[in-house]
A and B are shown apart, each in its own frame.
Chain A
Amino acid sequence: MLQIKNLFAKVEDKEILRGINLEVKPGEVHAIMGPNGSGKSTLASVLAGKEDYEVTQGEVIFNGKELLELEPEDRAREGVFLAFQYPIAIPGVTISNFIKTAINEKRKYLGEEDIKAVDFLKKIKEKMALLEIDSKFLGRSLNEGFSGGEKKRNEILQMAMLEPQLSILDETDSGLDIDALKIVANGVNKLKSDQNATIVITHYQRLLDYIVPDYVHVLYNGQIVKSGDKSLALELEAKGYDWVKEEVASLA
């Protein structure tokens, strides 16, 4: 589904991604961990199409298409979803209208009709119930005055509504209390199928107890320096990153 090949990207002349290689197949869950500032969010933003980042080398293939050639909105319509580490507030736009617009933009792209108002309402109520979000949120301005946890839940609500093929969750667990973490993880698990895939960016093993990864990667200095199965996350939790950094240093 997704192949990232030797991806280099920079921002304001600063090289941040320095040769990323990653392959994600349908049905898989990949966890990306790594120290602060290693480039995790940058990778997510580059995949989603943020303009600030300039790709200097490499390619990304998504379902056979050159992802980097597409506009951000077309990437989303093709099925890429990024749950933001820091979701943006948009005063004056209700969650309900926002999500409906997003769905219809995707449908238009796929040559489908707009979603019917009743169907939309039914679906969003269902997903809100799944994520235990109060229905009064529907009429609230997007992320405006939301608590950290509410923003993160709202991201997953959008994911549930848009049904992407590839979801990239950037530190969706940060800011969630323990109960909310379970609810959100449960929501993500329910949305999983053998058709779609998830990349989970996180600092904490805890999330991976609930969303169990098939692969765990360590991103350090703009490269994936180590990959393993879920036991790698446990090892990182116990030992921190120093031993990984040392390994990298000894190889250099």
Chain B
Amino acid sequence: MNVETSFDFKHKFIEDFTLFDSKRVNNSSEFVRNLRANGIEQFKALTAPNRKQEEWKYTKVTEIINKEFFTYASRLEQDKIDLSPFLIEGLEAHLIVFINGRFSERNSSDLSALKGVQVGNLENVLQNNSTSVEKVLGKVADTEEKFFAALNTAYFEDGLVIQVADGAIVDKPIFCLCLSDASQGNLMVNTRNLLVVGKNAQVKVINANYSLEDSAFVLNNQVSEVVIAADAIVDTYKLQMETDKSYHFDYTQIHQQQSSKFSCNTITLGGKIVRNDLNYLLQGEHTESFLNGLYLTEGQQLVDNHSLVDHAVPNCMSDEFYKGIMAGNSKAVFNGKIMVRPDAQKTNAFQSNKNILVSDNATINTKPQLEIFADDVRCTHGATTGQLNDEAMFYMQARGISKEKARKILLQSFAGEVTERLELEVMRDYLNQVIEERINQL
């Protein structure tokens, strides 16, 4: 039965593709048309995710592929939107706004004259200076076995493009706000983001996702391709804050060159079904890679964090630290794969996933996956799942702190172990506050 419905979803996008592509034939380069064609071929060859597939064992997407989504966002409003609910107090940043996956110039800062960095939208870059991104677009992400990512390759139109020049230290974080508006019906947004950082350069990037309007469902389908040159230091944040009328897929592929440092901090507080695939390929020695994650789920939410750190060369360090608090009937999945290839001697790889279930009906499936083919490596991993610590609760109560308050304090401090790892102080403060409010409601 599922096969039939998934066929519909697939069938529709295969059918629609010819029209979609032909409408854009005049303003698409050969390069982009080939890429799209390749994407739809990959998509055709794939079966929709189902629980027989190891990678989707715990994450059911039936409710998504049973729905019909439109891919076009009629070029909605270019009005100024009140962005204040989505901004971070105290954060000074270069702001770039996308609404339903399309760049909204009016709502963005003036990005025309930034020093050492070009920040823009993919549609524009492809039209004016396509060659600058052709080495990256479609070359970093491997969508061959990824149903939603392949669909993204076939249907992407716009996205965030950041190119940092060699040696440039970008003065302020780049804050990309992705807003969705489903007022015209179920909508699929295929965003394609590129982050290319030159040698010795430094930048911080925030990608924040919110629902503006959620009378219908949004399928927010993002693919990001990231190339970090030697000695660069890059700190990125993903804030996934949509409502429970939103499905969010994020596939991010990172290529890291020698002695670079890259952090990705994934904070998931919203979304009905969220699936992240965060993949690092370490191509140069002496890199440092950080993967921090925090998910707070409730109701019927499902948050699935898949990650892969591919130690392809020696002498690299990776550190993955994910924590979750699950309430209601929510579910979370953690699957962290560390691959240490035969050449990758002296690898240091750490991984930790800790979870607290605050309801009897919440579940977590956590699975560390170490594939180690070198002998001189140091890998540690650990996963824990538990309820709130009774001993700690009693200790606090014995000091006069009410049970309710003790519970909140424990949950906050549990989550705080992730936020304290964030380098951006304003982000830390902001998230601690948001988390506190969230926990108070649990």
Contact = CB atoms under 8 A, between A and B. Distances in A.
Interface of A: 48-51, 71-73, 75-77, 81-82, 84, 87-88, 90-93, 98, 101-102, 105-106, 109, 141, 158, 162
B403 A92 contact: no
B414 interface: yes
A90 B392 contact: yes
29 contacts: A49-B397, A71-B397, A72-B397, A72-B398, A73-B397, A73-B399, A73-B403, A75-B398, A76-B398, A77-B400, A81-B398, A82-B398, A84-B395, A87-B395, A90-B396, A90-B409, A90-B413, A91-B413, A92-B412, A92-B416, A92-B417, A92-B420, A93-B413, A102-B399, A105-B399, A106-B400, A109-B400, A158-B399, A162-B400
A105 B405 contact: yes
B402 interface: yes
A141 B409 CA distance: 12
Nearest to A80: B398
A196 to B, nearest CB: 16
Given A90-B413, A92-B412, A162 B399 contact: yes
A105 B402 CA distance: 8
Contacts of A50: 394
A50 B420 CA distance: 32
B414 to A, nearest CB: 7
A50 to B, nearest CB: 6
A82 B413 CA distance: 23
B441 to A, nearest CB: 20
A73 to B, nearest CB: 5
Contacts, number: 72
* Chain B interface size, under 10 / 10 to 19 / 20 to 34 / 35 or more: 20 to 34
Given A93-B409, A93-B413, A101-B409, A88 B395 contact: yes
Contacts of A75: 398
B391 interface: yes
A92 B413 contact: yes
A215 B390 CA distance: 34
Contacts of B391: 88
Interface in B284-322: none
Q: Which 5 pairs, one residue from A and one from B, show the smallest C-beta to C-beta distance? A: A92-B413, A76-B400, A72-B397, A102-B399, A88-B395
A25 B405 CA distance: 33
Task: Select the residue from B390, B391, B403, B416 with max chain A CB neighbours within 10 A.
Answer: B391
B356 to A, nearest CB: 13
A41 B413 CA distance: 28
A76 B410 contact: no
A105 B203 CA distance: 44
Nearest to B394: A50
B399 A98 contact: yes
A105 B395 contact: no
A158 B400 CA distance: 11
A101 B413 CA distance: 14
B114 interface: no
A40 B403 CA distance: 25
